[in-house]
Structure 1
Amino acid sequence: MKPRYEQPGISDGTTFTCFVRSESTFDFAWHHHQEYELTLITAGIGTRYVGTTVERYQLGAMVLLGPDLPHTFASEQSEANAEAVVTQFRYDFLGPEFFALPPFRVVDGLLARSAHGLRFDHVSDEVRAHVTRLPHLEAVTRTVSLLDVLRHLAEDATASPITGPGYVMAPGLAVRDRIDAVCRYLQQAHTEPVELAEVAALAHMSPTSFSRFFRRVMGRTLTDYINQLRVETACSLLTATSLPVTEVAARSGYRNLSNFNRRFRELKGLRPTEYRAAHPQTGNG
């Protein structure tokens, strides 16, 4: 139930790893690792889970995630395939003091900010092309190209944090394991009624203690997190099917249409019908 700890395979003679992840579907696989991870989506759409944040991703989406930040990408089932270019590296992959050197301090700041995850919504096509080519370059050229990409990203003033200001990395493995067990459970169960006592039992806590614990660690209430999951599920249904809004609400976990409309507008700034109109349909339902 806890996130899988990944240790990326780094080939002999290299200092970081870069590869194309191509699968029929990206399944929910909650995990973390000690490396920074730069991910560019090159095929498919879906939902991205990073720390406390759940949001949809589109073709061309790019994020930089700091070490030990739990995350996963789950692609839409209606998509023909899912593909991403993934680069993973440690802070000292070029030496322990490399990013402290004056020419690279701007990159050092970028890496520090990635502790909460960074989303790049306005990165240029040129930078995306550089990232796409990384897995196919020889070692020296690949290293120089990665540094150039990081420099461009560090200079992007539009980069925005993924997790909110309330997110604080769990202070220890025991706490993190409890939260991760809960997050994995909710990802599967959020479209059904969720009982506080049942969720609290996963963390071996009383409902009252768990509510305080969840809010302290996640920076939001359990109800707020469930609503975030449900609204993202609704977004997927609105864009991938022609189901009536009432059916979308029900399939997303809402038994009350007024509550669904209110929660949806709070999180997306649009009514469900407006959201559907603004996003082209990607499936037939």
Structure 2
Amino acid sequence: MKLHLLDRSNLSNSSFTTKVNEYPYFLKIWHYHPELELVVVLKSEGTCFVGDSVEKFGIGDIVLIGKDLPHMWLNDEGYFQQSSKETAKAIAIHFKQDYLGPKFFETPEMIHILELFERARFGIKFLNINKNLITDIQNMLELKGFEKTMAFLNILNSLTKHKDTKRLSSPGFVNSFQTSKSDTQDIVHAYIFKNFNQDITLNKAAEIAHMNPSAFSRYFKRINQKTFSRYVTEIRIGYACKLLLENKYNISAICYDSGFKNISNFNRQFKLIMNCTPSEYVDKHKKE
């Protein structure tokens, strides 16, 4: 799975693009683009990868993804079955940070929206969103010109006021990706995200990067501020958290589905990263 740069150049005589995507399942493409992206999930469930985060997504979720931040929407396995009648549907709005001019959002009246764009560098998930906001976004799709632009500004303004949010990707990932800009980093991250729940090794990653293992190990730690094994473990635990919250599988099955080879190591690594056991994690979220 290669990291793709998607060209979303706007050819519709508009400063930003709006589209309703509806497919049997979302396309499994690990990609990034220079535009920010506001996504509203209208149908389907699955896993959202944003930078180095692994999140469950479902109906009503709203996510703002910053420019050049790699991401992928992966539906649950049932959507890929030939007999499946499920559909995946989402609104996607793409826009450049300066879509209304290079200085527009630097004015005192708009600086709070510029701060939202800065936070979006890591990806933002908006929690417990009022359904009226989703309705406003859907209604905006029917507008044109000035009315559409003003409606979108109102939506961005509403998002800046929403306090219940979650930062997605880690600063380490974002900083390494944006400062590196190398094919090596792209290839390695793509390999990790495709194979994290399989038998993934530093030697194989080094081979893909065309480096010897010791040199690759030093390179990876310098760029990502953590070892290769720690990085992979964090991705696996993130995916395990998503499966635990779905409550579809027992802990033993989740251990192996996340790429761990035995339950004791899974429990040990989970507690090291999440400061609780898998069972405690489930109980905590049930109470919340």
Cross-structure match for 1:37: 37
User: Displacement of 1:184 after TM fit?
Assistant: 2.0
Q: 1:136 to 1:77 in 2, by over 3 A?
A: farther
For residue 134 of structure 1, what is the aligned residue in structure 2?
A: 140
Aligned residue type for 1:171: T
Please state how far the C-alpha of 1:238 moved relative to its aligned partner: 4.6
Query: Matches of 1:78 and 1:236 in 2, distance apart?
Result: 16
Q: 2:240 is matched with which residue: 220, 234, 240?
A: 234
1:114 aligns with 2:120: yes
- In terms of mean alpha carbon deviation, does 141-150 or 200-209 score higher? 200-209
Is 1:52 aligned to residue 52 of structure 2?
yes
Q: Distance in 2 between matches of 1:42 and 1:219?
A: 37
Q: Is 1:171 aligned to residue 187 of structure 2?
A: no
Equivalent residue for 1:263, pick from 261, 269, 275: 269
Separation (CA, whole Å) in 1 of partners of 2:8 and 2:209: 29
Return the alpha-carbon distance in structure 1 between the equivalents of residues 228 and 18 of structure 2: 36
Give the 3 Å change call, closer, same or farther, for CA 244–114 of structure 1 in structure 2.
closer
Partner of 2:99: 93
Which piece of structure 1 moves more, 42-51 or 159-168? 159-168
The verdict on how the C-alpha distance between 1:106 and 1:10 changes in structure 2, with shifts beyond 3 A counting, is same
Partner of 1:78: 78
Aligned length: 278
Q: Give the letter for the 1:30 counterpart.
A: W
Residues in 2 aligned to 1:18 and 1:164: alpha-carbon distance in whole angstroms = 28
Q: Deviations over 1:90-133 (max 9, x none)?
A: 12221222112221111111112222222211332222222233
How far 1:148 sits from its partner (Å)?
0.6
- d(CA) in 2 for partners of 1:274, 1:78: 28
Matched, 1:157 2:157: no
Amino acid at match of 1:139: G
Q: Which amino acid aligns with 2:12?
A: D
Contact 1:134-1:145 within 8 A present in 2 as well: yes
Question: 231, 247, 251: which one pairs with 2:253?
Answer: 247
Residue by residue over 1:155-210, the C-alpha shift from the partner in whole angstroms, topping out at 9 and shown as x without a partner, is 2333332222323033243x2x2222122222232222222111111112222222
CA contact (8 A) 1:9 1:17 kept: no
Alpha-carbon distance between aligned partners in 1 of 2:31 and 2:252, rounded to the nearest angstrom: 34
Q: Share of identical aligned residues, percent?
A: 29
Q: Aligned partner of 2:117: which letter?
A: L
Give the corresponding residue for 1:187: 193
Match of 2:83 in 1: none
Listed as ranges, the gaps of 5+ residues in structure 1 are: 281-285
In 2: Cα distance, 1:17 partner to 1:219 partner: 36
SS of 2:41's equivalent in the other structure is: strand
Q: Decide whether aligned partners of structure 1 residues 164 and 191 sit closer, same or farther in structure 2, where only a CA change above 3 A counts.
A: closer
Paired position in structure 1 for 2:207: 201
Preserved contact between residue 2 and residue 178 of structure 1 (Cα < 8 Å): no
Query: Are the aligned partners of 2:19 and 2:91 in contact in 1 as well (CA < 8 Å)?
Result: yes
1:188 alignment partner, SS class: helix
Q: Is the 8 A contact 1:246 1:257 kept in 2?
A: yes
> Does the residue aligned with 1:166 lie in a helix, a strand or coil?
helix
Distance 1:277 1:161, change over 3 A: closer
1:143 aligns with 2:173: no
- Cα distance in 2 for residues equivalent to 1:45 and 1:55: 11
Distance 1:116 1:239 in 2: 23
- The two structures have a TM-score, normalised by structure 2, of 0.85
Any stretches of 5+ residues in structure 2 without a counterpart? Answer: 80-85
Deviates more, 1:59-68 or 1:6-15: 6-15
Distance 1:56 1:62 in 2: 12
CA contact (8 A) 2:53 2:238 kept: no
1:3 corresponding residue in structure 2: 3
